Amino acid sequence: MINITKFAYEPGEHEAEKASNSYLMSLIALIAGLPIPIINLLATLIFYLGNRKGTYFVRWHCTQALLSQFSVLFINSYGFWWTVSIIFTDQSVTNNYIAYIIAAIIFNLTEFIATIYTAIQTRKGIHVEWWFYGSLSNLICKPES
């Protein structure tokens, strides 16, 4: 799922810190905005926009951090509105609902752990590419732009 590869160049100390921060940003937002799933996406989006003109290594990791938020955004939004409809309308708790919430927790936890791991590795200047999100970032983020 997580691949350590060699980046196009050796990132400097300052770059590594910034790139690592992009993951930390999503983590903090995830904790703060857990009930409202859009907050962590917004936080990483703001960080991404702020670093658009950063170096290639920083841009690449901001992109990966942002993209990784999308899948949990969909999962969490659906779970969030499902919960709201149970509390405020006549829908009731079903087996499907509980299974969904557990599946959502598993995916969120996986993402959470992967994010912590990546934040640590990136801080050391090690380039970490995630399954799917890594190759998607490669497509979006090019060395010169």
* Binders of another protein in range 108-127 (CB under 8 A): none
Tell me: does residue 99 bind another protein (CB under 8 A): yes
Give the residue from 72, 74, 67 showing the smallest Cα distance to 134.
67
Shortest Cβ distance from residue 18 to another protein (Å)?
Answer: 25
- Which of 100, 120, 125, 141 is in the footprint of another protein by CB under 8 A? 100
Shortest Cβ distance from residue 50 to another protein (Å)?
Answer: 26
Q: Which helix (DSSP H) or strand (DSSP E) does residue 109 occupy?
A: helix 95-123
User: Are 66 and 45 in contact, with CB atoms under 8 Å apart?
Assistant: yes
Which window, 14-22, 28-36, 120-128, 130-138, contacts another protein (CB under 8 A)? Answer: 130-138
- CA distance linking residue 68 with residue 1, whole number of Å: 13
Q: Which helix (DSSP H) or strand (DSSP E) does residue 145 occupy?
A: none
Give Cα separations from 91 to 33, 65, 72, 78 (angstroms): 25, 35, 24, 15
Shortest Cβ distance from residue 53 to another protein (Å)?
Answer: 25
* Binders of another protein in range 4-63 (CB under 8 A): none
- Which of 32, 131, 142, 143 is in the footprint of another protein by CB under 8 A? 131
- Which of 8, 28, 106, 113 is in the footprint of another protein by CB under 8 A? 106
